[in-house]
């Protein structure tokens, strides 16, 4: 086209107007291209791409140019379709062209205008452009929506903080949750919860619901205010942070320890709880421990362990298991007991009142690992002390039958045993102590002459603080005396109202003394109750005895009230332990538990006690009944109780045999005995203390049933002859057993009952013996000047055959003849002097000489003694 200025081109700044005309000089009808957006997107998220598609056509020509523009830098053209070469378009067949736009990582809501411009053309002449605009929202990704956020506002140390969170994401889904707290020193532990990997769907109608827990530290000693919160992240990376949830963590409530107490246990659990503790006691110390939280009920926390220990500085160290005492799972509770068992040591303070103080402490731990504050316990312990009490029926009766002429000798023997028999007894109750001169001698000889250390004989004297029921007409005393190594502070006597038979003529009753040993006070009631009658009739001796025990019971109830004192009832009670009615009735009436018996089986034992046998072997009772345990030492359970209570029946041996004139089978004669009374004494104690015997004094086996007598330094024995009645030889054993002899020291064996339990348990020097061969013959001789040889007499023994216990130099020896002893034999008659026996020309014969140097020394071969042993009783010295 030419300008109207006739120039082919227009200079700068000149506006040209071009007018196109048809051939007929009319203006042509020129149309613009048409363009329309197809399925126009509404928004785009950050970093997403969108595609816009248009349809375009031109009426007069074909679309030759398409151009895309955006007015927002956060949305840029990524790529666009080109117009295919040679393409044609029309209204019926428009071109479809697309362009892809890329959104940046924008953060705020914006809009972008996208413009598409199309041109058509013909014969190289461009047509008029047509444009179309589209508005696109640049929409940031949505953040997770937090619908519900809660946390437990207050918990106790060690409890969990419950955290609830409900959320959803509008554009995507929640993929991750982070947890936070501002606790300063790790007092709160974060939850481990995260969104499950398979979760890809949440919405306002389908919330993601989270229930989780923050853990709090056990044992916080102060309250703590903290915040907990969460950060919720969507799949697209947007995040929402919950508000901080305030939580108060209450300080931990430590386990608490209640009142500490002690109790006796084991062998000592029978003791009264109020009795003072002493050395060697078995005790349990315990306290009630409880655990609870600051905000919850008491059943939520359990005690799991505890630990006792001794505090430093104590003068005596206890043996304690100071390691943690774990409580078995099935026993773990909110409230538990925390026992520790202790056997207290000996402190060496015996005989004093000096206490030992132990300072202990207890710590308990609950299942949180939280320890209680240490609680201290002061244990005050008295030194060990015990009262060893003996009862001894002395057989000091006024009878002129058995024992009547032996009282002087027996009292002398008692005094010889001052230490061996009586030295370990603190209190001695003598019964059948009727003869005053003998009692005085015995009291003085045993070392109790001081008036504060003994009582008068029951029914005599005027030094009593109290006398009950003394009517003064009885012809004989009550025969009870109490000796004490500690000053007697109170003396009382009570005469029984109920008595019968010959006892009715005696001041039978009981003696009550009070004394203090170390820090303990003791009441001793010594008695000798109704005996079975032997001369006069008694309608019911058993009922009388029980009535007398009832008088003792009534007296205790009236006069002894301090339950911290000990009450012992001791003596010859004349009720047999084997009595199925009387024995339980006695224990019940005296409120006494059964003692632990040891030692000899019986206290009145005609089988093992030579005096009891001689005095009673002809009686119908002995023929038809066993021996009896009549002497008892009991304690009243209503008062302080001993730790143990042992009754040991002893079998003391005279130092020198006792010679007593007795009336046996109508003949008055002399007999020799190792026993001091027809009753064995009994000792009661709590512990073996290193002084109380732990074995019987003599062997209890039948070792005298087979004895051999060998000439000292040879192999020649006293031996039967070739015939059972031949002269007795002294020779080497022939293998026939002729060297074995049965030796007895009781009354003549021909009068013995058929009682297998009757046999000697001790033969002392200068004792009359009967020696029997294996064939049954008894050593005897003619007692004539020319008849000195012995033979086994089938019907009778030499009545005055006597054995002396010597050493190798012929010096006298005390004690039972045992295996390895040296002996001399001598023989004589009631009126003559003794002549010593000897080996003479191969025979056993009397030397006819009174000089012991003329007697042959024989060495004894016999079984070793088998003594009763009670060393397994509780000991205080170990």
The pLDDT tens digits of the residues spanning 552-584 come to: 999 999 999 999 999 999 999 999 999 999 999
CB atoms within 10 A of CB 222: 9
Mark which of 335, 363, 381 sits at the end of a domain: 381
Binning pLDDT at 50, 70 and 90, where does residue 333 land? confident
Measure the CA–CA gap between 696 and 605, rounded to whole angstroms: 15
Q: Are residues 246 and 283 in the same domain?
A: no
Using the predicted structure, report yes or no on whether residue 474 has a pLDDT greater than 70.
no
| CA end-to-end distance (rounded Å), the chain | 142
**Token pair recorded at residue 871:** 């060393």
Q: Are residues 366 and 400 in the same domain?
A: no
For position 536, what pLDDT does the model report?
A: 76
For position 663, what pLDDT does the model report?
A: 56
Cα 800 to the chain's mean position, in Å?
Answer: 63
Q: Are residues 418 and 337 in the same domain?
A: no
Q: What one-character DSSP code corresponds to residue 750?
A: G
- The 10s digit of each residue's pLDDT in 234-243 is 988 899 999 9
For position 89, what pLDDT does the model report?
A: 87
Q: Are residues 478 and 579 in the same domain?
A: yes
CATH of the domain at 165: 2.60.40.10
Average pLDDT, the chain: 89
pTM equals 0.75
Q: Are residues 835 and 749 in the same domain?
A: yes
The answer to whether 27 touches 20, Cβ cutoff 8 Å, is yes
Residue with the larger pLDDT of the pair 254 and 648: 648
Whether 841 is covered by a domain: the verdict is yes
> Strands 509-517, 488-495: parallel, antiparallel or unpaired by DSSP?
antiparallel
CB atoms within 10 A of CB 507: 26
Collapsing DSSP to helix, strand or coil, 843 comes out as strand
Using the predicted structure, report yes or no on whether residue 316 has a pLDDT greater than 50.
yes
Q: Are residues 466 and 599 in the same domain?
A: yes
Cα angle 600-511-485, degrees, rounded to a multiple of 5: 70
Measure the CA–CA gap between 700 and 650, rounded to whole angstroms: 12
Q: Where is average pLDDT lowest: 248-252, 510-514, 766-770?
A: 248-252
**Which residue do the tokens 């000899």 mark?**
600
Whether 269 is covered by a domain: the verdict is yes
Q: What secondary structure does DSSP assign to 568-598, as a single string?
A: EEEEE----TT-TTHHHHHHHHTT-PPPEEE
User: How far are the Cα atoms of 150, 171, 228, 828 from residue 167, in angstroms, in the given order?
Assistant: 12, 13, 17, 127
Whether 512 is covered by a domain: the verdict is yes
Residue 655: left (phi > 0), alpha (psi -120 to 50), or beta?
Answer: alpha
CATH of the domain at 94: 2.60.40.2410
Measure the CA–CA gap between 337 and 306, rounded to whole angstroms: 10
Q: What percent of the chain has a predicted confidence (pLDDT) above 90?
A: 66
Using the predicted structure, report yes or no on whether residue 307 has a pLDDT greater than 80.
yes
The answer to whether 402 touches 453, Cβ cutoff 8 Å, is no
- The 10s digit of each residue's pLDDT in 285-303 is 999 998 876 555 545 788 9
- The 10s digit of each residue's pLDDT in 664-704 is 554 556 778 899 999 999 999 999 999 999 999 999 999 99
Which H or E run includes 437? helix 436-445
Measure the CA–CA gap between 186 and 809, rounded to whole angstroms: 96
Using the predicted structure, report yes or no on whether residue 155 has a pLDDT greater than 60.
yes
Q: Which of 726, 766, 718 is closest to 742 using CA atoms?
A: 718
Using the predicted structure, report yes or no on whether residue 9 has a pLDDT greater than 60.
no
- The 10s digit of each residue's pLDDT in 598-637 is 999 999 998 899 888 876 766 777 778 889 999 999 999 9
The answer to whether 662 touches 614, Cβ cutoff 8 Å, is yes
| Domain that includes residue 554, residue range | 389-637
Give me the half-sphere count of Cα atoms (radius 13 Å) on the Cβ side of residue 152: 17
Whether 811 is covered by a domain: the verdict is yes
Burial of residue 802 (CB within 10 Å: 0-12, 13-18, 19+) is buried
Binning pLDDT at 50, 70 and 90, where does residue 403 land? very low
Collapsing DSSP to helix, strand or coil, 833 comes out as coil
For position 809, what pLDDT does the model report?
A: 96
Q: Which of 439, 366, 320, 349 is closest to 218 using CA atoms?
A: 366
- The three-state (H, E, C) secondary structure of 659-695, written as one string: EEEEEECCEEEEEEECCCCCCCCEEEECCECCCCCCE
Number of domains in the chain: 5
Which H or E run includes 114? strand 110-122
Give buried/exposed letters for 347-368 (b at 16+ CB in 10 A, else e): bebbeeeebbebebbbbbbbbb
Residues 361-379, mean pLDDT to the nearest whole number: 90
Measure the CA–CA gap between 776 and 88, rounded to whole angstroms: 161
Collapsing DSSP to helix, strand or coil, 438 comes out as helix
Residues 353-368, mean pLDDT to the nearest whole number: 92
Residues 36-60, mean pLDDT to the nearest whole number: 89
Q: What one-character DSSP code corresponds to residue 140?
A: P
Binning pLDDT at 50, 70 and 90, where does residue 724 land? confident
Binning pLDDT at 50, 70 and 90, where does residue 3 land? very low
Residues 711-716, mean pLDDT to the nearest whole number: 97
**Which residue do the tokens 């696109």 mark?**
136
Burial of residue 21 (CB within 10 Å: 0-12, 13-18, 19+) is exposed
Q: What secondary structure does DSSP assign to 346-389, as a single string?
A: P-S-TTS---EEEEEEEEEEETTSPBPPPEEEEEEEBPP----E
The answer to whether 859 touches 822, Cβ cutoff 8 Å, is yes
CATH of the domain at 743: 2.80.10.50
Residue with the larger pLDDT of the pair 438 and 121: 438
For position 401, what pLDDT does the model report?
A: 53
Using the predicted structure, report yes or no on whether residue 181 has a pLDDT greater than 90.
yes
The answer to whether 513 touches 491, Cβ cutoff 8 Å, is yes
Whether 437 is covered by a domain: the verdict is yes
Measure the CA–CA gap between 7 and 225, rounded to whole angstroms: 92
Whether 718 is covered by a domain: the verdict is yes
User: How far are the Cα atoms of 281, 555, 646 from residue 640, in angstroms, in the given order?
Assistant: 14, 18, 16
Residue 437 φ/ψ, nearest 5 degrees: -65, -35
Using the predicted structure, report yes or no on whether residue 748 has a pLDDT greater than 70.
no
User: How far are the Cα atoms of 457, 462, 512, 553, 557 from residue 465, in angstroms, in the given order?
Assistant: 14, 9, 10, 19, 18
Q: Choose the most confident range, by mean pLDDT, from 267-271, 440-444, 656-660.
A: 440-444
Q: What one-character DSSP code corresponds to residue 24?
A: T
Using the predicted structure, report yes or no on whether residue 131 has a pLDDT greater than 70.
yes
Q: Where is average pLDDT lowest: 243-252, 321-330, 451-460?
A: 321-330
Q: What one-character DSSP code corresponds to residue 751?
A: G
**Token pair recorded at residue 226:** 């903290």
Measure the CA–CA gap between 591 and 637, rounded to whole angstroms: 6
Using the predicted structure, report yes or no on whether residue 749 has a pLDDT greater than 50.
no
The answer to whether 421 touches 413, Cβ cutoff 8 Å, is no
Q: Are residues 278 and 413 in the same domain?
A: no
Using the predicted structure, report yes or no on whether residue 828 has a pLDDT greater than 90.
no
Q: Are residues 573 and 613 in the same domain?
A: yes
Residue 445 φ/ψ, nearest 5 degrees: -65, -30
Measure the CA–CA gap between 380 and 366, rounded to whole angstroms: 30
Q: Can you state the angle between helices 436-445 and 407-416, rounded to 10 degrees?
A: 10
Whether 289 is covered by a domain: the verdict is yes
For position 665, what pLDDT does the model report?
A: 52
Which H or E run includes 408? helix 407-416
For position 381, what pLDDT does the model report?
A: 96
Q: Choose the most confident range, by mean pLDDT, from 418-432, 614-628, 721-735, 754-768.
A: 418-432
- The 10s digit of each residue's pLDDT in 756-792 is 788 899 999 999 999 999 888 889 987 777 788 999 9
CB atoms within 10 A of CB 207: 16
Q: Choose the most confident range, by mean pLDDT, from 5-9, 201-205, 530-534.
A: 201-205
CB contact set of 454 (below 8 Å; sequence gap of 6+): 443, 448, 481, 482, 483, 484, 488
Whether 665 is covered by a domain: the verdict is no
Binning pLDDT at 50, 70 and 90, where does residue 443 land? very high
The answer to whether 689 touches 280, Cβ cutoff 8 Å, is no
Mark which of 594, 613, 637 sits at the end of a domain: 637
Measure the CA–CA gap between 807 and 870, rounded to whole angstroms: 31
Residues 797-822, mean pLDDT to the nearest whole number: 95
**Which residue do the tokens 């955006």 mark?**
70
Q: Are residues 623 and 748 in the same domain?
A: no
Mark which of 618, 637, 656 sits at the end of a domain: 637
Residue with the larger pLDDT of the pair 156 and 18: 156
Q: Which of 491, 591, 487, 502 is closest to 544 using CA atoms?
A: 502
Q: Are residues 746 and 807 in the same domain?
A: yes
Measure the CA–CA gap between 628 and 566, rounded to whole angstroms: 28
Q: Are residues 318 and 408 in the same domain?
A: no
Which H or E run includes 768? strand 767-768
Q: Are residues 581 and 728 in the same domain?
A: no
> Strands 130-138, 43-44: parallel, antiparallel or unpaired by DSSP?
parallel
CB contact set of 705 (below 8 Å; sequence gap of 6+): 742, 743, 759
**Which residue do the tokens 């009783």 mark?**
873
For position 646, what pLDDT does the model report?
A: 98
Q: What secondary structure does DSSP assign to 33-80, as a single string?
A: PEEEEES---EE-TT-EEEEEEEEE-SSSEEEEEEEEES-TTEEEEEE
Q: Which of 603, 602, 601, 597 is closest to 684 using CA atoms?
A: 597
Measure the CA–CA gap between 96 and 94, rounded to whole angstroms: 6
For position 2, what pLDDT does the model report?
A: 44
Q: What secondary structure does DSSP assign to 513-576, as a single string?
A: EEEEETTEEEEEEEEE-PPPPSSS--S-HHHHHHHHHHHHHHHHHHH---TTSEEEEEEE----
Residues in the chain: 878
CATH of the domain at 345: 2.60.40
Measure the CA–CA gap between 245 and 147, rounded to whole angstroms: 15
């Amino acid at each position: 086209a030419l300008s109207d200025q006739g120039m082919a081109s227009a200079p700068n700044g000149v506006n040209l107007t071009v007018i196109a005309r048809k051939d007929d000089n009319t203006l042509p009808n020129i149309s613009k291209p048409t363009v329309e957006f197809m399925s126009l997107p509404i928004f785009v998220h950050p970093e997403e791409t969108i595609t816009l598609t248009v349809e375009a056509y031109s009426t007069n020509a074909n679309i030759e140019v398409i151009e895309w523009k955006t007015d927002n830098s956060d949305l840029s053209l990524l790529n666009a379709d080109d117009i295919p070469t040679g393409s044609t378009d029309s209204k019926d067949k428009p071109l479809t062209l697309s362009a892809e736009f890329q959104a940046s990582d924008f953060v705020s809501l914006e809009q972008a205008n996208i413009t598409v411009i199309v041109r058509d053309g013909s014969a190289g002449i461009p047509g008029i452009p047509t444009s179309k605009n589209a508005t696109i929202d640049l929409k940031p990704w949505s953040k997770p929506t937090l619908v519900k956020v809660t946390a437990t506002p207050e918990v106790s140390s060690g409890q969990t903080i419950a955290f609830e969170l409900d959320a959803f994401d509008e554009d995507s889904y929640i993929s991750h949750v982070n947890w936070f707290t501002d606790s300063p020193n790790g007092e709160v532990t974060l939850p481990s919860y995260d969104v499950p990997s398979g979760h890809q769907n949440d919405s306002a109608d389908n919330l993601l619901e989270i229930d989780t827990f923050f853990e709090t530290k056990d044992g916080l000693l102060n309250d703590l205010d903290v915040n907990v919160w969460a950060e919720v992240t969507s799949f697209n990376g947007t995040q929402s942070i919950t508000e901080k949830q305030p939580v108060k963590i209450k300080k931990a409530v430590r386990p608490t320890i209640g009142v500490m107490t002690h109790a006796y246990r084991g062998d000592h659990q029978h003791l009264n709880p109020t009795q003072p503790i002493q050395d060697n006691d078995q005790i349990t110390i315990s306290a009630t421990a409880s655990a609870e939280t600051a905000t919850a009920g008491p059943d939520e926390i359990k005690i799991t362990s505890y630990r006792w220990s001794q505090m430093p500085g104590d003068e005596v160290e206890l043996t304690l298991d100071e390691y943690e005492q774990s409580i078995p799972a099935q026993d773990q509770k909110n409230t538990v007991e925390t026992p520790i068992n202790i056997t207290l040591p000996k402190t060496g303070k015996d005989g004093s009142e000096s206490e030992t103080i132990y300072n202990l402490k207890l710590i308990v731990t609950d299942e949180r690992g939280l320890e209680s504050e240490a609680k201290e316990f002061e244990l005050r312990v008295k030194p060990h002390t015990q009262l060893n009490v003996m009862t001894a029926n002395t057989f000091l009766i006024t009878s002129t039958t058995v024992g009547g002429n032996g009282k002087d000798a027996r009292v002398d023997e008692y005094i010889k045993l001052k230490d061996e028999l009586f030295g370990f007894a603190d209190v001695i109750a003598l019964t059948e102590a009727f003869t005053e001169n003998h009692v005085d001698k015995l009291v003085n000889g045993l070392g109790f002459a001081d008036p504060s250390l003994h009582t008068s004989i029951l029914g005599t004297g005027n030094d009593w603080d109290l006398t009950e029921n003394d009517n003064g007409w009885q012809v004989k005393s009550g025969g009870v005396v109490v000796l004490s190594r500690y000053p007697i502070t109170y003396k009382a006597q009570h005469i029984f109202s109920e008595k019968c038979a010959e006892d009715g003529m005696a001041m039978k009753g009981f003696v009550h003394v009070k004394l203090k040993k170390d820090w303990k006070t003791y009441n001793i009631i010594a008695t000798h109750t109704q005996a079975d009658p032997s001369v006069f009739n008694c309608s019911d001796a058993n009922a009388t005895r029980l009535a007398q025990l009832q008088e003792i019971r009534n007296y205790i109830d009236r006069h002894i009230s301090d339950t911290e004192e000990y009450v012992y009832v001791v003596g010859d009670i004349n009720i047999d332990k084997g009595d199925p009615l009387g024995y339980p009735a006695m224990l019940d009436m005296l409120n006494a538990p059964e003692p632990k018996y040891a030692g000899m089986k019986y206290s009145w034992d005609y089988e093992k006690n030579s005096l009891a046998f001689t005095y009673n072997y002809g009686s119908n009772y002995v023929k038809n009944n066993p021996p009896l345990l009549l002497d008892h030492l009991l304690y009243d359970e209503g008062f302080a109780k001993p730790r143990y209570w042992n009754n040991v029946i002893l079998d003391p041996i005279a130092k020198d045999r006792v010679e007593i004139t007795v009336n046996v089978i109508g003949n008055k004669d002399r007999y020799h005995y190792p026993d001091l009374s027809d009753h064995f004494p009994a000792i009661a104690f709590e512990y073996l203390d290193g002084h109380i015997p732990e074995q019987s004094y003599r062997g209890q086996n039948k070792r005298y049933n087979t004895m051999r007598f060998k000439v000292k330094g040879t192999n020649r024995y006293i031996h039967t002859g070739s015939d059972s009645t031949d002269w007795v030889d002294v020779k080497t054993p022939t293998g026939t057993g002729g060297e074995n002899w049965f030796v007895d020291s009781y009354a003549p064996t021909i009068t013995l009952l058929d009682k297998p339990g009757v046999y000697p348990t001790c033969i002392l020097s200068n004792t009359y013996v009967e020696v029997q061969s294996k064939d049954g013959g008894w050593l005897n001789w003619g007692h004539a000047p020319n008849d000195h040889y012995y033979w086994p007499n089938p019907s009778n023994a030499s009545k005055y055959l006597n054995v002396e216990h010597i050493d190798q130099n012929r010096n006298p020896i005390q004690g039972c003849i045992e295996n390895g002893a040296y002996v001399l034999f001598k023989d004589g008659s009631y009126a003559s002097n003794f002549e010593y026996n000897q080996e003479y020309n191969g025979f056993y014969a009397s030397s006819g000489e009174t000089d012991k140097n003329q007697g042959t020394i024989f060495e004894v071969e016999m079984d070793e003694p088998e003594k009763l042993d009670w060393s397994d009783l509780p000991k205080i010295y170990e």
